[in-house]
Amino acid sequence: MNVIETKEILYEYPDGTKALEDVNFKAESGKIIALLGPNGAGKSTLFLHFNGILEPSSGEVLVNGRPISYDKKELMKVRQEVGIVFQNPDDQLFAPTVMEDVAFGPMNIGLSKEKVESRVKEALKRVGMEGFEKKPPHHLSGGQKKRVTIAGILAMKPKIMVLDEPTSGLDPRGASQIMRLLYELNEEGMTIIISTHDVDLVPLYASTVYIISHGNIIKEGSPQTVFSDVETIRNANLRLPRIAHLMEILNKEDHVSFGKPYPLTIGEARRKIREQAKD
Ligand SMILES: Nc1ncnc2c1ncn2[C@@H]1O[C@H](COP(=O)(O)OP(=O)(O)O)[C@@H](O)[C@H]1O
Ligand SMILES: [Mg+2]
């Protein structure tokens, strides 16, 4: 079942910029789906359609099989179902303290004080930010801010979480902490949709990849399928994952092959190299 689906959506910003053209995107329940594309490709614009922040100029967006209705009450419901974590935490965090920030969503849907408190506690624990309740968000590091924004969404208990470039600007450790958390949430049944231009990250986590370029989806499939189409990847101003690039060079320049498709991760490459070394 597709929890989110866009049908031929087109979006034009008020200044006339066509940011999306005939985009068909599907997110299957329980999966981790990656939207891969260079800067300006339309990733953020597409994501803002998933919970009705933007309404397509034409085409439609379905959540759980139903077209989004753009009246206020229905949008509230959609936003409980689909949580969006913006790329820049400063666009999301606004309350004077971490606690008030995370509490805002649950309070807004009218939960009791006790329920709000327990949701805030649980969410901050989940992202490893207990003890920061009274801190002003602007005193936190980039990675901590990101985790608080994720807590704010988790506190709403959405079934679908959409994260716009969740690892951008984070150091390697911060990035892998976030990805590990997303992986765990997914294991527990949450559908996760991320955008990124980090090609090395995609094969580690995503089961389905969409490539977006100039507002068009130009390729979709498993990481293996998508990264086999080297020409499309490079035409979209992206590159192969480093490991696959190394395998391509070994194959083409040195005539050393570990078989095709090229491994995309260290784990896959290690397995193939060991197998071959044994022969
Ligand atoms: N508020 C806006 N008004 C006009 N054009 C915009 C606006 N936001 C984004 N764009 C344009 O829409 C296109 C897609 O942008 P965006 O969705 O932010 O791409 P990405 O997230 O992949 O970097 C770009 O050409 C960008 O300049
Ligand atoms: Mg963006």
Ligand 1: residue whose CA is nearest its atom 24 = 40
Identify the three-state secondary structure at position 75: helix
Sheet of strand 191-196: strand arrangement: 82-85, 160-164, 191-196, 32-36, 208-213, 216-221
- Counting ligand 1 atoms within 8 A of each CB, the residue from 6, 17, 91, 217 with the most, and so the one to mutate, is 17
- Counting ligand 1 atoms within 8 A of each CB, the residue from 45, 88, 194, 196 with the most, and so the one to mutate, is 45
What average pLDDT does range 252-260 have in this prediction? Answer: 91
What average pLDDT does range 145-150 have in this prediction? Answer: 96
pLDDT given at position 277? 85
The listed CATH number (3.40.50.12780, 3.30.565.10, 3.40.50.300, 3.40.50.1100) that belongs to domain 2-239: 3.40.50.300
Domain boundaries, the chain: 2-239, 240-278
Q: Is the per-residue pLDDT at 2 higher than 90?
A: yes
What are the residues facing 20 on neighbouring strands?
11
Q: Is the per-residue pLDDT at 210 higher than 80?
A: yes
pLDDT given at position 101? 97
What are the residues facing 84 on neighbouring strands?
162
Model confidence pLDDT, tens digit, residues 80-94 = 999 999 999 999 999
Q: Where are the alpha helices (DSSP H) in the chain?
A: 43-47, 72-81, 98-108, 113-126, 142-154, 172-187, 202-205, 223-228, 230-235, 242-254, 266-278
- Counting ligand 1 atoms within 8 A of each CB, the residue from 6, 13, 18, 21 with the most, and so the one to mutate, is 13
Average model confidence (pLDDT) across the chain: 95
Cα gap 9→4, rounded to integer Å: 13
pLDDT given at position 259? 86
Q: Is the per-residue pLDDT at 279 higher than 80?
A: no
What average pLDDT does range 11-19 have in this prediction? Answer: 97
Model confidence pLDDT, tens digit, residues 163-180 = 999 999 899 999 999 999
- Report the run of H or E that residue 161 belongs to, with start and end: strand 160-164
Which ligand is closest to the CA of 42, given by its number?
1
- Residue 115 Cα, ligand 1 centroid: separation in angstroms? 38
pLDDT given at position 86? 96
pTM: 0.95
Residue for token pair 């100039």:
214
The 10 Å Cβ neighbour count of residue 187 is 10
Q: Helix %, strand %, coil % for the chain, to 5?
A: 40, 20, 35
pLDDT grade for 128, boundaries at 50, 70 and 90: very high
Cα gap 36→219, rounded to integer Å: 10
Q: Is the per-residue pLDDT at 190 higher than 90?
A: yes
| Residue 7 Cα distances to 61, 215, 217, angstroms | 6, 14, 12
Ligand 1 binding pocket includes 40 (Cβ within 6 Å): yes
